[in-house]
Chains A and B, each alone.
Chain A
Amino acid sequence: MRRAPLLFLAPALGAAALFGVPLVALVLRAPWAELGHQLESPTARDALVLSLVCSLSATAISFALGVPLAWLLARTDFTGQRLVRALVTLPMVLPPVVGGVALLLAFGRRGLVGEWLAALGVTLPFTTAGAVVAETFVALPFLVVSAEAGFRQIDPRLEEAAAVLGARPGFALRRVTLPLAAPALRAGAALCWARALGEFGATITFAGSFPGRTQTLPLAVYLALEHDPDAAIALSLVLLIVSVAALVALRDRWLGA
């Protein structure tokens, strides 16, 4: 191990401070004495419950749609595959608010398919279901990217071996492919859930901010900051703790611990 040269040390400390100081500030300024009280307020409770419901729903939908897609991307060749992969990963770099606008233009009352949905009696914008769709839109790529990498690292000859040993495709999937991909699927699901839980831009644009219906934790934090900073800090702390917990759960995979 060599000693850190000064030339690198200063910028590195700057970077660490950029992340560290705000977190320290958040923890120091937190209204610890009345934290319980803050989190028991109806607004906080509603936002917390709604956030859990929406983010877990978004994760479940992402899993159901994303795992088969990831498998197709990893294990087959089809025309337009590169386009599909680009489309799926786009939300990772797209500003979420743009995603929200695009969702409105697609599923809004006058949207591309929104009119059809309305005819079927389905309304997405400014509903809880809409918040779930917005979170799924933003979080799904994290699951797909992780799951595809997981499927890719499985030796395809193991799947061939399963077939030669008498396994039908469903059995091979259940007993060989999915168990071998399980760590990647778990990591993808955790990352997807963390991203869905923190979603702000697409949700507020597409689903609005109605307490109890679409006002998830991040929206509640933002709105509380103006009139009740202590509540905002308390809710932020909750999100911080959840994020750290997710990171700890994934540490083997990304931090090499």
Chain B
Amino acid sequence: MLEAALALRLGALELRLELAVGSGEVLALVGPNGAGKTTTLRVLAGALQLTAGRIELDGKVLDEPAGGVLVPAEERSVGMVFQDRLLFPHLSALDNAAFGLEARGQPRAEARRRAREALERVGAADWADVRPGTLSGGQAQRVALARALVVEPRLLLLDEPLAAMDAGARLELRAELGRQLREFKGAALLVTHDPDDARALATRSLRIAGGRAES
């Protein structure tokens, strides 16, 4: 369960947004470029800090400037699929997927075993030894999804996971994403500018523009 009251300034953007996403729910954030969608995900992940407000995940406060609380990104139970994926170019798909586990101190062998399972679950096991540079958009996105899910986060953030993909791969990946989201136990946020994706994948939708929710 994610409960957040977000307030922050970033350049020209002034974000003021209240969110509540239950476990098993998928909230779609829909809106034009510059609406604050990616900024919302980054602040939830801990890459940005709130100037005011509060983020609480499963009863644990992650960021609350008034209370002097700020849990750094690496200590949050958050998985994120980034816009244009940001797979580590020098690591194989398997080592990309194992990254979060190794970062949390899992022994290498165990991390790679679980990473391979995560790749299998998203249908990406065939490319385990391949570096991201040679993967297609859809293949890379599956690896990015496995990398985010492997640590079993309580909050999953998906930033335009279906953007910049050709139509066939897009539908296939959307179906895969739908399966994964239905199995996912935590709260999920999906950023998209496509209302069809929001309808297909999310349990609820929130339109935002200019950093605020539109009613």
- A165 contacts B46, CB within 8 Å? no
Which residues of chain A are near B74, meaning CB under 8 Å? Answer: 163-168
| Interface check A42, CB cutoff 8 A | no
| Residues of chain A within 8 A of B46, CB atoms compared | 163-164
Interface residue total, chain A, C-beta cutoff 8 A = 18
**Is the pair B86, A155 in contact by a Cβ cutoff of 8 Å?**
yes
CB distance from B117 to the nearest CB of A (A): 17
Known contacts A166-B104, A166-B151; A180/B86 CB under 8 A? no
User: What residues of chain A lie closer than 8 Å to B75, measured between beta carbons?
Assistant: 166
Is B99 located at the chain interface by the 8 A CB criterion? yes
User: How far does the alpha carbon of A197 sit from the alpha carbon of B87 in the complex, in Å?
Assistant: 40
Instruction: Determine the distance from Cα of A158 to Cα of B80 in the docked complex, in whole angstroms.
Output: 12
- Residues of chain B contacted by A172 (CB below 8 angstroms): 103
- Could you say which residues of chain A place their CB within 8 Å of the CB of B82? 157, 161
B19 within 8 A of A: no
- Given A155-B86, A158-B86, A176-B88; A165-B72 close (CB under 8 Å): no
Complexed CA–CA distance, A197 and B90 (Å): 32
> Roughly how many angstroms separate A55 CA and B193 CA in the complex, as a whole number?
57
Establish whether residues B72 and A158, one from each chain, have CB atoms under 8 Å apart when the complex forms. Answer: no
Give a binary string over A142-158; 1 marks a CB under 8 Å from any B CB, 0 the rest. 00000000000001011
Q: Does A175 contact B (CB under 8 A)?
A: yes
Q: Is A163 a contact partner of B72 (Cβ separation < 8 A)?
A: yes
Q: Which residue of B lies closest to A182 (CB)?
A: B90
Q: Mark B30-55, 1 if CB is under 8 A from A, else 0.
A: 00000000000010011100000000
Determine how close the nearest CB of chain B comes to the CB of A207; give it in whole angstroms.
41
Is the Cβ of A164 less than 8 Å from the Cβ of B80? yes
List the A side residues contacting B147 at CB < 8 Å.
Answer: 165
Chain B nearest Cβ from A173, distance in angstroms: 12
A residues near B90, Cβ cutoff 8 Å: 179-180
Contact A165 B47 (CB under 8 A): no
Bound form: Cα–Cα A176–B95 in Å? 12
The answer, among A155, A157, A163, A180, for a CB contact under 8 Å with B73, is: A163
Residues of A near B102 (CB, < 8 A) are 171, 175
A164 near B47 (CB under 8 angstroms)?
yes
Question: At the interface, yes or no: A160 with Cβ under 8 Å from chain B?
Answer: yes
Cα A214 to Cα B33 in complex, Å, equals 64
Q: Tell me whether B29 is interfacial, beta carbon within 8 Å.
A: no
- The reply on A223 being an interface residue by CB < 8 A is no
Q: Which chain A residue has the least Cβ–Cβ distance from B95? A: A175
Extra 16 A-B pairs, beta carbons < 8 Å, given A165-B80, A175-B102, A180-B89: A155-B86, A157-B86, A160-B42, A160-B47, A161-B80, A163-B46, A163-B73, A163-B74, A164-B47, A164-B78, A165-B100, A165-B147, A165-B148, A165-B151, A166-B74, A171-B103
Where the two chains meet, the residues of B that have a C-beta atom closer than 8 Å to any C-beta of A are 42, 45-47, 72-75, 78-80, 82, 86, 88-90, 99-100, 102-104, 147-148, 151
Kindly list the 4 A-B residue pairs having the minimum CB-CB distance in the complex, ordered from nearest.
A167-B103, A166-B103, A163-B73, A161-B86
- What residues make up the interface of A, taking CB atoms closer than 8 Å to B? 155, 157-158, 160-168, 171-172, 175-176, 179-180
Question: Could you give 25 example pairs across A and B, Cβ below 8 Å?
Answer: A155-B86, A157-B86, A158-B86, A160-B42, A160-B73, A161-B80, A163-B46, A163-B47, A163-B72, A164-B45, A164-B47, A164-B73, A164-B74, A164-B80, A165-B79, A165-B99, A166-B99, A166-B103, A166-B104, A166-B151, A167-B74, A167-B103, A168-B103, A171-B102, A176-B88
